Amino acid sequence: MSIKILLADDHEIMREGLKSLLEKQSDITVIGQADDGRTTVKLARELSPDIVIMDISMPDMNGIEATRQIVSRDSRIKVIALSVHSDKRFVIEMLHAGASAYLLKDCAFNELANAVRAVIANHSYLSPEIADAMIKDYKDILLKKPLSAFSILTNREREVLQLLAEGKTTKDIAAILNVSVKTIETYRHQIMDKLHIHSLADLTKYAIKEGLTSL
């Protein structure tokens, strides 16, 4: 039976290139494409793919949050992270979110094909470069959790922070998340208090540094 794949990347040329390569495999079918995290979550629910190949830096909702929402709703769906980020923080948070594999975008296509077949067989997969870095740093990973946005803020606070950093108004965010304006204002104050950051400009810089948005 064909492996059904959903592609999530905010660059159309990347998606189309992957689609062309993947569909040359006799056992793989690309059933959908998305250019932001929120659309990816929606399509994963509607199309029920076997695998989502997920970029991390996407607008509206980043790949880490999208992965968390997809896997928490349907653990049968496997997520393969395909990213330019080799920093171990991104790898750790993507795996914590539920991804089954993490590859760098400069990998050979054969490596991605191998990862697809590994995760469909319920195995995990890391690029050799990522695996080497994780092994070298394993003591730090086990003994010290980095104080990142993913350890300080709640899932919803990170979602609000990304939308704030991308220029959405409090009213816009309330509509997107289907909550009251007052609730979003409360989240904003909580975020600022936790991060000790008290301007929107500095919040935006922080969100970019932490990989919550690519803007």
Are the CB atoms for 69 and 95 separated by under 8 Å? no
Q: Confidence class of residue 104 from pLDDT cuts 50, 70 and 90?
A: very high
How many whole angstroms separate alpha carbon 8 and alpha carbon 50? 14
Is residue 130 scored above 70 in pLDDT? yes
Q: What is the pLDDT of residues 51-93, one digit of tens each?
A: 999 999 999 999 999 999 999 999 999 999 999 988 888 998 9
pLDDT score recorded for residue 131 = 85
pLDDT score recorded for residue 13 = 95
Are the CB atoms for 112 and 118 separated by under 8 Å? no
pLDDT score recorded for residue 147 = 65
Exposure string of 32-52, with b = 16+ CB inside 10 Å and e = fewer, is bbbbbbbbbbebbeeeebbbb
Half-sphere CA count of 33, side-chain side, radius 13 A: 15
Domain boundaries, the chain: 3-141, 149-209
How many whole angstroms separate alpha carbon 78 and alpha carbon 194? 32
Are the CB atoms for 80 and 100 separated by under 8 Å? yes
- Is the pTM here over 0.75, yes or no? no
Q: What is the pLDDT of residues 143-162, one digit of tens each?
A: 565 567 777 899 999 999 99
Half-sphere CA count of 187, side-chain side, radius 13 A: 23
- CATH architecture for the domain at 149-209: Orthogonal Bundle (1.10)
What backbone torsions phi and psi does residue 44 show, to the nearest 5 degrees? -60, -40
Indicate the pairing of strand 51-54 with strand 78-83. Answer: parallel
Average pLDDT over every residue of 177-194: 94
Mean pLDDT, all residues of the chain: 91
Q: In this structure, what token pair is assigned to residue 10?
A: 């905010």
CATH of 3-141, one of 3.40.50.300, 3.40.50.2300, 1.10.579.10, 3.40.50.2000: 3.40.50.2300
How many whole angstroms separate alpha carbon 95 and alpha carbon 98? 5
